[in-house]
Amino acid sequence: MNPSSHPILTPVLHTRLPAVGTTVFTRMSALAAQHGAVNLGQGFPDFDCEPALIDAVSDAMRAGNNQYPLMTGAAPLREAIAAKIASRYGHDYDAASEITVTAGATQALTTAILCCVHPGDEVIVIEPAYDSYLPAIALAGGVPVLVAMEVDERGYSVPWDKLAAAVSPQTRLIIINTPHNPTGTIVRVADLEKLADIVRGTQIVLLSDEVYEHMVYDGVPHASLSRHAELAARAFIVSSFGKTYHVTGWKVGYVAAPSTMTAEFRKVHQYNVFTVNTPMQHGLASYMADPQPYLQLPAFYQRKRDLFRAGLAGSRFELLPADGTYFQCVKYSAISQDSEAQFAEWLTTELKVAAIPVSAFYAQGKESGIVRFCFAKRDETLNLALARLRTI
Q: Does 4 have pLDDT greater than 70?
A: no
Q: Does 360 have pLDDT greater than 60?
A: yes
User: What does the DSSP assignment read for 90-134?
Assistant: -----HHHHEEEESHHHHHHHHHHHHH--TT-EEEEEES--TTHH
Q: Does 193 have pLDDT greater than 80?
A: yes
Q: Does 171 have pLDDT greater than 70?
A: yes
Given this model, what pLDDT does residue 42 score? 85
Q: Are residues 267 and 369 in the same domain?
A: no
Q: Are residues 305 and 344 in the same domain?
A: yes
Q: Does 3 have pLDDT greater than 70?
A: no
Sign of CA dihedral 22, 25, 27, 33: negative
Q: Does 154 have pLDDT greater than 90?
A: no
Closest to 184 in 3D by CA, of 325, 299, 15 = 325
Using only the alpha carbons of the chain, give its radius of gyration.
22
Given this model, what pLDDT does residue 6 score? 84
Domain boundary, last residue among 278, 293, 308: 293
How does pLDDT run across 224-275, given as a tens digit for each residue? 999 999 999 999 999 999 999 999 999 999 999 999 999 999 999 999 999 9
Given this model, what pLDDT does residue 19 score? 87
Q: Are residues 24 and 132 in the same domain?
A: no
Range of the domain at 31: 3-49+296-389
Q: Are residues 91 and 232 in the same domain?
A: yes
Q: Are residues 204 and 326 in the same domain?
A: no
How does pLDDT run across 15-49, given as a tens digit for each residue? 999 988 888 888 898 999 999 999 999 889 999 99
Domain boundary, last residue among 293, 318, 339: 293
Residue 1 banded pLDDT, cuts 50, 70, 90: low
Q: Are residues 372 and 361 in the same domain?
A: yes
Q: Are residues 250 and 338 in the same domain?
A: no
Which pTM value belongs to this model?
A: 0.96
Element (H, E) at 57: helix 51-62
How does pLDDT run across 37-96, given as a tens digit for each residue? 999 998 899 999 999 999 999 999 999 999 999 999 999 999 999 999 999 999 999 999
User: What does the DSSP assignment read for 180-197?
Assistant: PTTT-----HHHHHHHHH
Q: Tell me what percent of the residues of the chain surpass a pLDDT of 90.
A: 93
Given this model, what pLDDT does residue 10 score? 96
Q: Nearest 5°: CA angle at 241, between 91 and 330?
A: 100
Q: Are residues 15 and 104 in the same domain?
A: no
The pLDDT mean for the chain works out to 96
State how far the Cα of 34 lies from the Cα of 345, in Å rounded to an integer.
12
Q: Are residues 213 and 171 in the same domain?
A: yes
**Exposed / middle / buried, residue 1 (Cβ in 10 Å: 0-12, 13-18, 19+):** exposed
CATH number of the domain enclosing 165: 3.40.640.10
Which phi and psi (to 5°) does residue 336 adopt? -155, 155
Sign of CA dihedral 27, 29, 35, 39: positive
Domain boundary, last residue among 240, 274, 293: 293
Q: How many folded domains does the chain comprise?
A: 2
Q: Are residues 21 and 87 in the same domain?
A: no
Given this model, what pLDDT does residue 153 score? 77
Closest to 52 in 3D by CA, of 259, 263, 247, 330 = 247
CATH number of the domain enclosing 333: 3.90.1150.10
Q: Are residues 166 and 266 in the same domain?
A: yes
Q: Average pLDDT for residues 314-332, to the nearest whole number?
A: 97
Q: Are residues 162 and 267 in the same domain?
A: yes
* 210 close to 239: Cβ distance less than 8 angstroms: yes
Closest to 184 in 3D by CA, of 318, 282, 326 = 326
> Residue 127 half-sphere exposure, CB side, CA atoms within 13 Å?
18
